[in-house]
Amino acid sequence: MANDLSVTFWGVRGSIACAGPEYVRYGGNTSCLEVVAGGRRLIFDAGTGIRKLGLGLCAAAARMEEIDIFFTHTHFDHICGLTFFAPLYVEDRKVRLWAGHLLPEHTIVDVVKHVMAAPLHPVSLDVFTADVQFNDFTCGDTLHPAPGVVVRTARLNHPNGATGYRVEHGGRSICYITDTEHDGVAPDASIVGLCRDADVMIYDSTYSDAQYPAYRGWGHSTWQEAIRVGDTANVGTVAIFHHDPAHDDAWMDRVAAEVTAMRPGIAANGLPRVLVAREGTTLRP
Ligand SMILES: [Zn+2]
Ligand SMILES: [Zn+2]
């Protein structure tokens, strides 16, 4: 327990949730990760995947539990599940929301108030009965959300800003890099720096290199770039993430085959050197 570190994928889809038989194997919920480190629960992004995670957390423990939710950014696919996160409606829970991309123009409490207001939403954030705290930081800050858990951050290249994260605990590390656009020349130096020698790097792989030119400026990257960044940063396992809603299970199977051919084998952490993130799976590097 003391040195536990894991990440569970509750939502792997980018842009908009998608349902249907063609999405059952990789999943249709938008971005949400659950990292457990040193017995503490850190959630990254509040896409639609956070709803099911929250239901499980309410069923699991009656005791006071502190939960931290870190936003990469507040585009709708990353925040639309927040008001459906059940622990926000449990009185003995403490939930801290963190964002690093908003200052100085905005704050995270203002963004949540804005989303939870007429005519977008029927009730305001007063409806939360948990002890909810709002924490703004600046990309590049290092955070210490719990004893022995370090969260490093870096700025990503995305419209309206976004924050990349690296969670360190017990000598291991998991990086979460979405949403971000590469420059097509060389891997982003600040991302490479943040992810250097990480055990796992979860990376925005919305497009292929072939598709990308049609979407330049939209703020997303490719699965080939994920491999290039992972190799440059000496990452153990690269996880392909933020799947485009147009890419169904059959498409993602082809992506999995392609990236596995590019980066075959098993990493020192015991996981494949590359994998395609699937909703419901847990990685323990
Ligand atoms: Zn997104
Ligand atoms: Zn975005």
pTM of full prediction above 0.95:
yes
Ligand nearest the Cα atom of residue 15:
1
Pairing of strands 66-71, 40-44: parallel
pLDDT in tens, 228-269: 999 999 999 999 999 999 999 999 999 999 999 999 999 999
pLDDT at residue 176 greater than cutoff 70: yes
Residue ranges making up the domain that contains 81: 5-283
Res 217 pLDDT > 90: yes
Tokens of 87: 């622990």
Ligand sitting nearest the alpha carbon of 75: 2
Q: Residue 273: pLDDT above 80?
A: yes
Q: How confident is the model at residue 200 (pLDDT cuts 50, 70, 90)?
A: very high
CATH number of the domain encompassing residue 30: 3.60.15.10
Q: How many domains does the chain have?
A: 1
Are 278 and 6 in contact, with CB atoms under 8 Å apart? no
Q: What is the mean pLDDT of residues 85-113?
A: 95
pLDDT digits (tens, 9 = 90+) for 41-73: 999 999 999 999 999 998 766 566 899 999 999
Ligand 2 center from residue 206 Cα (angstroms): 11
105 C-alpha to ligand 2 centroid (Å):
17
β strands within the chain, DSSP E: 5-11, 32-37, 40-44, 66-71, 94-99, 131-136, 142-146, 149-156, 162-169, 172-177, 200-204, 237-241, 274-276, 282-283
CA of 66 relative to ligand 1 center, distance in Å? 26
User: Which ligand neighbours the alpha carbon of 242 most closely?
Assistant: 1
As a whole number, the mean pLDDT across the chain is 96
